[in-house]
Structure 1
Amino acid sequence: MRRTGTTRRSALTATGAFGLGAVLTGCGSGGGAPRHDSTGADARTVSLRASTALKAAEARSGVSLLARYDQVVAAHPLTEAGLAPMRAAVREHVAALGGRAGTGVPSSPAPAAPAADVRTALRELAAEERRLADVRAAALLKAEPELARLLASIAAAGAAHAYLLTELAKETPA
Protein backbone atom coordinates (compact mmCIF):
# COMPACT_ATOMS: atom_id res chain seq x y z
CA MET A 1 0.00 0.00 0.00
CA ARG A 2 1.25 3.44 -0.81
CA ARG A 3 1.81 6.28 1.56
CA THR A 4 -1.37 8.29 2.19
CA GLY A 5 0.20 11.61 3.20
CA THR A 6 1.00 14.51 0.93
CA THR A 7 3.65 13.54 -1.57
CA ARG A 8 5.97 15.82 -3.46
CA ARG A 9 4.16 15.03 -6.71
CA SER A 10 0.71 15.86 -5.32
CA ALA A 11 2.02 19.06 -3.72
CA LEU A 12 3.59 20.15 -7.02
CA THR A 13 0.42 19.28 -8.93
CA ALA A 14 -1.74 21.29 -6.53
CA THR A 15 0.71 24.20 -6.63
CA GLY A 16 0.71 24.13 -10.44
CA ALA A 17 -3.09 24.04 -10.58
CA PHE A 18 -3.28 26.93 -8.11
CA GLY A 19 -0.69 28.88 -10.09
CA LEU A 20 -2.61 28.31 -13.33
CA GLY A 21 -5.76 29.59 -11.64
CA ALA A 22 -3.91 32.68 -10.41
CA VAL A 23 -2.51 33.39 -13.87
CA LEU A 24 -5.88 32.96 -15.53
CA THR A 25 -7.64 35.27 -13.10
CA GLY A 26 -4.93 37.90 -13.32
CA CYS A 27 -6.32 38.94 -16.70
CA GLY A 28 -8.30 41.61 -15.01
CA SER A 29 -11.12 43.97 -15.16
CA GLY A 30 -9.85 46.48 -17.70
CA GLY A 31 -8.70 49.70 -16.12
CA GLY A 32 -10.51 52.07 -18.48
CA ALA A 33 -12.33 55.17 -17.32
CA PRO A 34 -15.82 54.57 -15.91
CA ARG A 35 -18.75 55.34 -18.19
CA HIS A 36 -21.56 57.57 -17.12
CA ASP A 37 -23.94 57.14 -20.01
CA SER A 38 -27.08 55.03 -20.21
CA THR A 39 -25.40 52.39 -22.38
CA GLY A 40 -22.90 51.78 -19.57
CA ALA A 41 -25.74 51.11 -17.14
CA ASP A 42 -27.40 48.80 -19.65
CA ALA A 43 -24.12 46.96 -20.21
CA ARG A 44 -23.66 46.49 -16.46
CA THR A 45 -27.19 45.11 -16.17
CA VAL A 46 -26.60 42.67 -19.02
CA SER A 47 -23.23 41.72 -17.52
CA LEU A 48 -24.81 41.15 -14.11
CA ARG A 49 -27.51 38.93 -15.62
CA ALA A 50 -24.94 36.93 -17.58
CA SER A 51 -22.79 36.54 -14.48
CA THR A 52 -25.79 35.41 -12.43
CA ALA A 53 -26.78 32.89 -15.10
CA LEU A 54 -23.22 31.54 -15.33
CA LYS A 55 -23.01 31.22 -11.56
CA ALA A 56 -26.34 29.37 -11.43
CA ALA A 57 -25.28 27.01 -14.22
CA GLU A 58 -22.00 26.23 -12.45
CA ALA A 59 -23.88 25.65 -9.18
CA ARG A 60 -26.17 23.16 -10.97
CA SER A 61 -23.11 21.39 -12.39
CA GLY A 62 -21.69 21.20 -8.88
CA VAL A 63 -24.91 19.70 -7.51
CA SER A 64 -24.82 17.11 -10.28
CA LEU A 65 -21.18 16.30 -9.46
CA LEU A 66 -22.05 15.94 -5.79
CA ALA A 67 -24.85 13.53 -6.72
CA ARG A 68 -22.29 11.55 -8.72
CA TYR A 69 -20.02 11.32 -5.65
CA ASP A 70 -22.99 10.16 -3.58
CA GLN A 71 -23.83 7.48 -6.15
CA VAL A 72 -20.27 6.14 -6.15
CA VAL A 73 -20.23 6.00 -2.35
CA ALA A 74 -23.63 4.26 -2.31
CA ALA A 75 -22.49 1.70 -4.89
CA HIS A 76 -19.03 1.21 -3.34
CA PRO A 77 -19.15 1.93 0.43
CA LEU A 78 -15.43 1.21 0.86
CA THR A 79 -14.66 4.42 -1.05
CA GLU A 80 -16.45 6.64 1.45
CA ALA A 81 -13.36 7.48 3.53
CA GLY A 82 -11.29 8.35 0.47
CA LEU A 83 -14.03 10.42 -1.15
CA ALA A 84 -15.24 12.26 1.98
CA PRO A 85 -12.81 15.22 1.76
CA MET A 86 -13.49 15.74 -1.94
CA ARG A 87 -17.26 15.47 -1.44
CA ALA A 88 -17.01 18.10 1.31
CA ALA A 89 -15.02 20.40 -0.98
CA VAL A 90 -17.55 20.00 -3.81
CA ARG A 91 -20.36 20.79 -1.34
CA GLU A 92 -18.51 23.98 -0.32
CA HIS A 93 -18.00 24.92 -3.97
CA VAL A 94 -21.73 24.59 -4.59
CA ALA A 95 -22.42 26.81 -1.59
CA ALA A 96 -19.87 29.40 -2.79
CA LEU A 97 -21.63 29.49 -6.15
CA GLY A 98 -24.95 30.15 -4.42
CA GLY A 99 -26.38 26.68 -4.93
CA ARG A 100 -27.88 24.39 -2.35
CA ALA A 101 -26.62 20.83 -2.23
CA GLY A 102 -28.80 18.11 -0.84
CA THR A 103 -32.13 19.83 -1.38
CA GLY A 104 -33.56 16.65 -2.82
CA VAL A 105 -34.76 18.53 -5.90
CA PRO A 106 -32.86 17.45 -8.98
CA SER A 107 -31.56 20.50 -10.82
CA SER A 108 -30.50 18.44 -13.82
CA PRO A 109 -31.02 14.91 -15.05
CA ALA A 110 -29.63 12.29 -12.69
CA PRO A 111 -26.16 11.12 -13.66
CA ALA A 112 -25.76 7.60 -15.00
CA ALA A 113 -25.28 4.85 -12.44
CA PRO A 114 -21.63 4.26 -11.53
CA ALA A 115 -19.76 1.26 -12.88
CA ALA A 116 -19.94 -2.00 -10.95
CA ASP A 117 -16.14 -2.13 -10.76
CA VAL A 118 -14.83 0.27 -8.09
CA ARG A 119 -11.74 1.26 -10.08
CA THR A 120 -13.81 2.06 -13.14
CA ALA A 121 -16.28 4.06 -11.04
CA LEU A 122 -13.41 6.12 -9.60
CA ARG A 123 -11.92 6.69 -13.06
CA GLU A 124 -15.32 7.83 -14.35
CA LEU A 125 -15.64 10.21 -11.39
CA ALA A 126 -12.13 11.55 -12.13
CA ALA A 127 -13.11 12.07 -15.78
CA GLU A 128 -16.22 14.00 -14.70
CA GLU A 129 -14.14 16.20 -12.34
CA ARG A 130 -11.66 16.84 -15.17
CA ARG A 131 -14.43 17.66 -17.65
CA LEU A 132 -16.09 20.07 -15.25
CA ALA A 133 -12.75 21.71 -14.39
CA ASP A 134 -12.15 22.27 -18.12
CA VAL A 135 -15.63 23.76 -18.56
CA ARG A 136 -15.07 26.11 -15.64
CA ALA A 137 -11.65 27.14 -16.92
CA ALA A 138 -13.22 27.98 -20.29
CA ALA A 139 -15.97 29.96 -18.52
CA LEU A 140 -13.32 32.28 -17.05
CA LEU A 141 -13.27 34.20 -20.31
CA LYS A 142 -16.95 35.13 -19.98
CA ALA A 143 -17.03 35.81 -16.25
CA GLU A 144 -16.72 39.04 -14.32
CA PRO A 145 -13.40 39.31 -12.40
CA GLU A 146 -14.77 38.25 -9.00
CA LEU A 147 -16.62 35.25 -10.44
CA ALA A 148 -13.61 34.42 -12.61
CA ARG A 149 -11.42 34.18 -9.51
CA LEU A 150 -13.95 31.89 -7.85
CA LEU A 151 -14.28 29.70 -10.94
CA ALA A 152 -10.48 29.51 -11.30
CA SER A 153 -10.17 28.36 -7.73
CA ILE A 154 -12.91 25.76 -8.14
CA ALA A 155 -11.46 24.58 -11.47
CA ALA A 156 -8.03 24.17 -9.87
CA ALA A 157 -9.59 22.17 -7.04
CA GLY A 158 -11.44 20.03 -9.58
CA ALA A 159 -8.20 19.32 -11.44
CA ALA A 160 -6.57 18.30 -8.16
CA HIS A 161 -9.58 16.08 -7.36
CA ALA A 162 -9.26 14.42 -10.77
CA TYR A 163 -5.61 13.64 -10.06
CA LEU A 164 -6.38 12.30 -6.57
CA LEU A 165 -9.26 10.18 -7.85
CA THR A 166 -7.01 8.69 -10.54
CA GLU A 167 -4.42 7.82 -7.90
CA LEU A 168 -7.13 6.38 -5.62
CA ALA A 169 -8.33 4.19 -8.49
CA LYS A 170 -4.78 2.84 -8.90
CA GLU A 171 -4.46 2.09 -5.17
CA THR A 172 -7.90 0.56 -4.68
CA PRO A 173 -7.93 -3.25 -4.64
CA ALA A 174 -9.93 -4.82 -7.43
Structure 2
Amino acid sequence: MRRTGTTRRSALTATGAFALGAVLTGCGDGPEGASASGGTDARAASLRAGKALRAAAARDSAALLARYDQVATAHPVAEAGIAPMRETVREHLKALGGAARASAASPAPTAPASDPRAALRELAGEERRVADGRAAALLTADPELARLLASVAAAGAAHAYLLTELAKETAA
Protein backbone atom coordinates (compact mmCIF):
# COMPACT_ATOMS: atom_id res chain seq x y z
CA MET A 1 0.00 0.00 0.00
CA ARG A 2 1.31 3.40 -0.97
CA ARG A 3 1.57 6.15 1.60
CA THR A 4 -0.35 9.37 0.90
CA GLY A 5 0.04 12.87 2.30
CA THR A 6 3.09 14.96 3.02
CA THR A 7 6.34 13.14 3.62
CA ARG A 8 9.28 14.45 5.57
CA ARG A 9 11.36 14.75 2.40
CA SER A 10 8.74 16.81 0.55
CA ALA A 11 8.23 19.05 3.60
CA LEU A 12 11.99 19.69 3.86
CA THR A 13 12.23 20.38 0.13
CA ALA A 14 9.36 22.84 0.25
CA THR A 15 10.83 24.57 3.31
CA GLY A 16 14.23 24.86 1.62
CA ALA A 17 12.69 26.26 -1.55
CA PHE A 18 10.71 28.79 0.47
CA ALA A 19 13.81 29.87 2.43
CA LEU A 20 15.87 30.19 -0.75
CA GLY A 21 13.15 32.32 -2.33
CA ALA A 22 13.07 34.57 0.72
CA VAL A 23 16.86 34.99 0.67
CA LEU A 24 16.95 35.78 -3.03
CA THR A 25 14.12 38.27 -2.72
CA GLY A 26 15.96 40.15 0.02
CA CYS A 27 19.23 40.39 -1.93
CA GLY A 28 18.21 43.31 -4.12
CA ASP A 29 19.87 46.71 -3.64
CA GLY A 30 16.64 48.71 -3.71
CA PRO A 31 14.79 50.28 -6.60
CA GLU A 32 16.73 50.53 -9.81
CA GLY A 33 18.04 53.97 -10.62
CA ALA A 34 17.88 55.18 -7.00
CA SER A 35 20.70 57.56 -6.23
CA ALA A 36 22.75 57.44 -3.08
CA SER A 37 21.43 60.80 -1.89
CA GLY A 38 17.84 59.74 -2.58
CA GLY A 39 18.35 56.71 -0.35
CA THR A 40 19.84 58.87 2.39
CA ASP A 41 16.93 61.33 2.22
CA ALA A 42 14.45 58.49 2.36
CA ARG A 43 16.25 56.97 5.35
CA ALA A 44 16.28 60.32 7.17
CA ALA A 45 12.58 60.81 6.45
CA SER A 46 11.88 57.29 7.71
CA LEU A 47 13.79 57.98 10.93
CA ARG A 48 11.90 61.23 11.48
CA ALA A 49 8.59 59.47 10.87
CA GLY A 50 9.55 56.71 13.30
CA LYS A 51 10.48 59.24 15.99
CA ALA A 52 7.20 61.10 15.46
CA LEU A 53 5.24 57.85 15.65
CA ARG A 54 7.03 56.81 18.84
CA ALA A 55 6.45 60.27 20.38
CA ALA A 56 2.73 60.12 19.51
CA ALA A 57 2.47 56.65 21.07
CA ALA A 58 4.23 57.92 24.20
CA ARG A 59 1.81 60.86 24.42
CA ASP A 60 -1.12 58.45 24.15
CA SER A 61 0.34 56.32 26.94
CA ALA A 62 0.90 59.41 29.11
CA ALA A 63 -2.70 60.48 28.61
CA LEU A 64 -3.89 56.94 29.35
CA LEU A 65 -1.79 56.83 32.52
CA ALA A 66 -3.28 60.14 33.63
CA ARG A 67 -6.74 58.70 32.98
CA TYR A 68 -5.94 55.64 35.14
CA ASP A 69 -4.71 57.97 37.89
CA GLN A 70 -7.92 60.00 37.72
CA VAL A 71 -10.15 56.94 37.92
CA ALA A 72 -8.12 55.52 40.83
CA THR A 73 -8.35 58.82 42.71
CA ALA A 74 -12.05 59.36 42.02
CA HIS A 75 -13.07 55.75 42.72
CA PRO A 76 -10.98 54.07 45.44
CA VAL A 77 -13.18 50.98 45.14
CA ALA A 78 -11.71 50.39 41.64
CA GLU A 79 -8.11 51.23 42.52
CA ALA A 80 -7.05 47.68 43.45
CA GLY A 81 -8.55 46.26 40.27
CA ILE A 82 -6.87 48.73 37.92
CA ALA A 83 -3.49 48.92 39.69
CA PRO A 84 -1.79 46.15 37.65
CA MET A 85 -3.04 47.63 34.37
CA ARG A 86 -1.96 51.11 35.41
CA GLU A 87 1.52 49.78 36.16
CA THR A 88 1.63 48.10 32.75
CA VAL A 89 0.68 51.37 31.04
CA ARG A 90 3.51 53.05 32.99
CA GLU A 91 5.94 50.41 31.68
CA HIS A 92 4.64 50.92 28.13
CA LEU A 93 5.28 54.64 28.50
CA LYS A 94 8.88 53.93 29.53
CA ALA A 95 9.35 51.49 26.63
CA LEU A 96 8.09 54.12 24.19
CA GLY A 97 10.62 56.62 25.51
CA GLY A 98 8.25 58.75 27.55
CA ALA A 99 8.87 59.90 31.09
CA ALA A 100 7.40 57.76 33.85
CA ARG A 101 5.56 60.80 35.21
CA ALA A 102 4.49 62.44 31.97
CA SER A 103 0.89 62.91 33.05
CA ALA A 104 1.59 66.55 33.89
CA ALA A 105 2.83 67.18 30.34
CA SER A 106 -0.18 65.54 28.72
CA PRO A 107 -3.47 67.36 28.33
CA ALA A 108 -5.88 66.80 31.19
CA PRO A 109 -8.51 64.25 30.23
CA THR A 110 -12.11 64.82 31.17
CA ALA A 111 -13.15 63.90 34.69
CA PRO A 112 -14.23 60.28 35.15
CA ALA A 113 -17.89 59.47 35.61
CA SER A 114 -19.29 59.63 39.14
CA ASP A 115 -20.30 55.96 38.96
CA PRO A 116 -17.33 53.55 39.27
CA ARG A 117 -18.81 51.19 36.68
CA ALA A 118 -19.27 53.99 34.16
CA ALA A 119 -15.74 55.25 34.85
CA LEU A 120 -14.33 51.76 34.22
CA ARG A 121 -16.33 51.45 30.99
CA GLU A 122 -15.02 54.84 29.85
CA LEU A 123 -11.47 53.74 30.70
CA ALA A 124 -12.03 50.53 28.73
CA GLY A 125 -13.21 52.60 25.77
CA GLU A 126 -10.10 54.77 25.99
CA GLU A 127 -7.86 51.68 26.11
CA ARG A 128 -9.67 50.29 23.07
CA ARG A 129 -9.30 53.58 21.14
CA VAL A 130 -5.57 53.80 21.91
CA ALA A 131 -5.02 50.11 21.05
CA ASP A 132 -6.85 50.56 17.72
CA GLY A 133 -4.72 53.60 16.91
CA ARG A 134 -1.54 51.66 17.63
CA ALA A 135 -2.68 48.77 15.50
CA ALA A 136 -3.33 51.18 12.61
CA ALA A 137 0.14 52.70 13.10
CA LEU A 138 1.74 49.31 12.47
CA LEU A 139 1.36 49.86 8.75
CA THR A 140 3.81 52.78 8.72
CA ALA A 141 6.20 51.79 11.52
CA ASP A 142 9.66 50.34 11.03
CA PRO A 143 9.94 46.66 12.06
CA GLU A 144 11.34 47.27 15.55
CA LEU A 145 8.76 49.89 16.45
CA ALA A 146 6.01 47.80 14.82
CA ARG A 147 6.82 44.89 17.14
CA LEU A 148 6.67 47.18 20.15
CA LEU A 149 3.42 48.82 19.02
CA ALA A 150 1.87 45.42 18.29
CA SER A 151 2.74 44.20 21.76
CA VAL A 152 1.45 47.36 23.43
CA ALA A 153 -1.72 47.30 21.30
CA ALA A 154 -2.38 43.69 22.28
CA ALA A 155 -1.94 44.56 25.95
CA GLY A 156 -4.30 47.51 25.52
CA ALA A 157 -6.94 45.28 23.95
CA ALA A 158 -6.60 42.87 26.87
CA HIS A 159 -6.90 45.79 29.30
CA ALA A 160 -10.08 46.93 27.56
CA TYR A 161 -11.59 43.48 28.01
CA LEU A 162 -10.49 43.22 31.64
CA LEU A 163 -11.80 46.70 32.44
CA THR A 164 -15.16 45.83 30.88
CA GLU A 165 -15.36 42.69 33.03
CA LEU A 166 -14.23 44.63 36.12
CA ALA A 167 -16.99 47.18 35.48
CA LYS A 168 -19.55 44.35 35.52
CA GLU A 169 -18.24 43.09 38.88
CA THR A 170 -17.84 46.47 40.57
CA ALA A 171 -20.50 47.69 42.96
CA ALA A 172 -22.01 51.06 42.10
Would you call these one fold, judging by a TM-score over 0.5?
A: yes
Task: Give structure 2 stretches of 5+ with no counterpart.
Answer: 1-24
Q: Deviations over 1:64-88 (max 9, x none)?
A: 0000000000000111111111001
Structure-2 residue corresponding to 1:139: 137
Q: How does 1:11-90 map to 2 (within 5 A)?
A: 31=26, 33-35=28-30, 37-90=36-89
Larger Rg over CA atoms: 2
Q: Per-residue CA shift, 1:101-123, capped at 9, x if unaligned?
A: 3146323x210000000000000
1:159 to 149, 157, 160: 157
The share of aligned pairs that are identical, in percent, is 69
Distance between the aligned counterparts of 2:104 and 2:47, measured in 1? Answer: 26
SS of structure 1 residue aligned to 2:104: coil
- The partner residue of 2:118 within 117, 120, 125 is 120
Bigger mean CA offset, 94-103 vs 31-40: 31-40
Q: Distance in 2 between matches of 1:67 and 1:91?
A: 10
The alpha-carbon distance between structure 1 residues 89 and 34, as it changes in their structure 2 partners (threshold 3 A), is farther
Corresponding letter in the other structure for 2:142: E
| 4+ long deviations beyond 6 Å | none
Which segments of 5 or more consecutive residues in structure 1 lack a partner in the other structure? 1-29
Mapped contact 1:66–1:101 kept (Cα < 8 A): no
Normalization by structure 1: what TM-score?
0.79
Higher relative contact order (CA 8 A, sep 6+): 1
Q: TM-score, normalised by structure 2?
A: 0.80
Computed over aligned residues only, the root mean square deviation of the Cα atoms, in angstroms, reads 1.5
